[in-house]
């Protein structure tokens, strides 16, 4: 969320950042609205001050026997009492309009983010591994799982509707193994603190990370006005909300394995086959609360953590930097790690690692106190999948399949699978 004072002082930079994303200039409209709000506040304060002065003057006039003056002052105070509520409403409405505008504006891209309209303009940075060259007709994860009798979309649809799945036997265990492997890697090797966070949150938490108000239609809401988290980013990042941290405590790194829930509004007809886009899925999330001068280094580090997971799973991937037209609402720079899926014959996103700068921190008032003790500054927040478990499961099945329909289990997962080396029918 932006500081209107910053926009007043950096109007050209604000509009230039919007232009990179293909958005129209907005700075002057916001500045004009802010000016009207400040003028209304000034008028309200002047009326309140005059009311107080006139009220005091009534007593003086009456003590001095100036009855006509006292009556005139009483009439003025009565008129002010009528006008003041109207001015209060006007000032409050202008403030709400300004807040609504500012809350709905996306973060600006950083200077290094490439310009472009959509994902076609994303820039590939590196690749790891070679997509498998099968000497048989490869199957996708749906064919593999159903042939094994371990994946069931039909029963899931009967109880929950479309975009749900039931995993059984070895596939259910493989899903659990992936989560355990990722958590162990991120905590033991990369220094993240494991957290078991709430899956239901209030409005303020989703507002803080940028899902509200603009993306309310993409969330699931409970009957008591809480929200099911679309990602553990919400819960983990909000652990810093409203707090003032010590500079020496930065960075703070958290990881969590949670269910995630997304209504996927607006995604009708997109990726409806199989497990790629579900209403309920599991993910291991990474979140960093960082010092502003260290956030870019932290961003590179986080991305490398996600890449390492895929390398240990022996999954080919590529890493791209998103262009301005493909950035998420809160991010000012994002690296997507895309895993190779033989069933689609293309790379698909399995982890988005984003640096939001101080955008989220402003929305949730997350700050730190510099070591010199002078004032406070907003932290920088970063988030990334470490990685999406459902898509990792798809990738393992499709990349490690064999001609007989069985699936080779990567060595990194075998300790979590009781030493099992392959999955076959009814494993």
CB proximity list for 34: less than 8 A, separation 6 or greater: 4, 8, 98
Give the phi and the psi of residue 62 in degrees, each rounded to 5: -70, -40
The torsion of the CA quartet 275, 278, 283, 286, rounded to 10 degrees, works out to 120
The tokens 């000497």 sit on which residue? 135
pLDDT in tens, 372-399: 878 999 999 999 999 999 999 999 999 9
Per-residue model confidence (pLDDT) at position 427: 53
Query: Which one is catalytic: 92, 264, 349, 377?
Result: 349
Provide the token pair at 308: 């390492």
One-letter-per-residue 3-state SS of 279-322: CEEEEEEEEEEECHHHHHHHHHHHHHHHHHHHHHCCCCEEEEEC
Catalytic residue status for 391: yes
Contact (CB, 8 A) for 383 and 208 = no
Query: Which one is catalytic: 330, 352, 406, 427?
Result: 352
Per-residue model confidence (pLDDT) at position 83: 87
Exposure string over 240-267, b if 16+ CB within 10 A, otherwise e: bbeeebeeeebbbbbbbbbebbbbbeee
Q: Which among 264, 254, 396 is positioned nearest to 317, based on CA atoms?
A: 396
Residue 257 CA, distance from chain mean position: 16
pLDDT tens for each residue of the chain, 427 residues long: 799 999 999 999 999 999 999 999 999 999 999 999 999 999 998 888 888 888 888 888 888 788 887 878 888 888 888 889 989 999 999 999 999 999 999 999 999 999 999 999 999 999 999 999 999 999 999 999 999 999 999 999 999 999 999 999 999 999 999 999 999 999 999 999 999 999 999 999 999 999 999 999 999 999 999 999 999 999 999 999 999 999 999 999 999 999 999 997 655 556 778 899 999 999 999 999 999 999 999 999 999 999 999 999 999 999 999 999 999 999 999 999 999 999 999 999 999 999 999 999 999 999 999 998 789 999 999 999 999 999 999 999 999 999 999 999 999 999 999 999 999 876 5
DSSP state of 23: P
Catalytic residue status for 175: no
Per-residue model confidence (pLDDT) at position 268: 58
Query: Which one is catalytic: 391, 398, 406, 427?
Result: 391
CB proximity list for 416: less than 8 A, separation 6 or greater: 176, 177, 180, 181
Contact (CB, 8 A) for 202 and 226 = yes
Query: Which one is catalytic: 127, 277, 318, 377?
Result: 277
C-alpha distances in Å from residue 101, one per residue of 12, 217, 255: 18, 18, 33
Q: List strand residue ranges (DSSP E) for 135-225, in order.
A: 151-152, 166-167, 193-194, 200-201, 220-221
Query: Which one is catalytic: 163, 173, 262, 367?
Result: 262
Domains in the chain (CATH in brackets) are 4-103 (1.10.287.40), 119-423 (3.30.930.10)
Catalytic residue status for 277: yes
């Amino acid at each position: 969320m932006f500081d209107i004072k910053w926009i007043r002082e950096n109007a050209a930079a604000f509009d230039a950042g919007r232009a990179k994303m293909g958005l129209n200039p907005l700075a002057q409209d916001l500045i004009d609205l802010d000016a009207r709000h400040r003028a209304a506040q000034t008028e309200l304060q002047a009326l309140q001050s005059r009311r107080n002065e006139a009220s005091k003057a009534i007593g003086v006039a009456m003590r001095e026997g100036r009855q006509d003056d006292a009556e005139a002052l009483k009439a003025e105070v009565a008129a002010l009492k009528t006008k003041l509520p109207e001015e209060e409403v006007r000032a409050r409405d202008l403030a709400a309009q300004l807040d609504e505008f500012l809350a709905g504006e996306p973060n600006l891209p950083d200077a290094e983010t490439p310009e472009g309209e959509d994902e076609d303009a994303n820039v590939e940075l590196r690749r790891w591994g070679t997509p498998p060259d099968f000497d048989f007709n490869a199957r996708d994860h749906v064919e593999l799982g159903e042939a094994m009798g371990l994946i069931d979309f039909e029963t899931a649809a009967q109880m929950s509707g479309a975009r749900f799945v039931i995993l059984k036997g070895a596939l259910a265990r493989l899903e659990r193994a992936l989560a355990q492997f990722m958590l162990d890697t991120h905590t033991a090797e990369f220094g993240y603190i494991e957290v078991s966070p709430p899956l239901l949150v209030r409005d303020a938490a989703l507002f803080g990370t940028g899902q509200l108000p603009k993306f309310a239609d993409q969330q699931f809401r409970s009957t008591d006005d809480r929200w099911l988290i679309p990602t553990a980013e919400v819960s983990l990042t909000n652990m810093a909300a409203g707090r003032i941290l010590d500079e020496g405590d930065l960075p703070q790194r958290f990881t969590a394995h949670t269910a995630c829930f997304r209504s996927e509004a607006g995604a009708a007809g997109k990726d409806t086959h199989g497990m790629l886009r579900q209403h309920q899925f599991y993910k291991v999330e990474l979140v960093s609360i960082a010092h502003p001068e260290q956030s870019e280094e932290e961003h590179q580090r986080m991305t490398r953590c996600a890449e390492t997971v895929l390398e240990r799973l022996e999954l080919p991937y590529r890493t791209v930097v998103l262009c301005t037209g493909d950035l998420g609402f809160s991010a000012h720079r994002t690296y997507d790690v895309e895993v190779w899926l033989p069933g689609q014959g293309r790379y698909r996103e399995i982890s988005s690692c984003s640096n939001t700068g101080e955008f989220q921190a402003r929305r949730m008032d997350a700050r730190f106190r510099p070591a010199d003790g002078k004032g406070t500054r907003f932290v920088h927040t970063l988030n990334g999948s470490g990685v999406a478990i459902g898509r990792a499961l798809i990738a393992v099945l499709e990349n490690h399949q064999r001609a007989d329909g069985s699936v080779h289990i990567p060595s990194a997962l075998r300790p979590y699978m009781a030493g099992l080396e392959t999955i076959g029918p009814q494993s």
